[in-house]
Amino acid sequence: MSTLKVEALVREFHYNGIRIPDPGPDLSVEQVRDLLTPNYPEIATASVSGPEATGSVLRYTFSRAIGTKG
């Protein structure tokens, strides 16, 4: 009989080349965005891609919105 091993994946967030650990696994991605916005204001309008599974980590990437001001 074979056994299965269940392992929870850890989330991490990336923005502009910076790896940001998950501030709270119980938070939604939108709640994480709201929490990070004071430190990274550009995240407020950034798009989110992911999750991308890399090993035992789920990676979410915030990408700046490209456009002109005004």
The count of structural domains within the chain is 1
Q: Is residue 28, in this structure, part of any structural domain at all?
A: yes
Residue 42 lies in a domain: yes
Q: In this structure, is residue 55 part of a structural domain?
A: yes
**Which residue type, as a one-letter code, is found at position 29?**
V
As to burial, measured by CB atoms within 10 angstroms (0-12 exposed, 13-18 middle, 19+ buried), residue 43 is buried
pLDDT at 7: 77
pLDDT in tens, the chain (70 residues): 788 887 778 999 999 999 999 999 899 999 999 999 999 999 999 999 999 998 889 999 999 877 655 5
Backbone dihedral region of 29: left (phi > 0), alpha (psi from -120 to 50 degrees) or beta?
A: alpha
Would you state the pLDDT for residue 70? 57
CA angle 16–66–41, rounded 5-degree value: 50
Say what the pLDDT of residue 18 is: 92
**Which residues span the domain enclosing 50?**
10-63
The whole-number pLDDT of residue 56 equals: 86
- Is residue 39 domain-resident? yes
Check residue 69 and give its pLDDT: 59
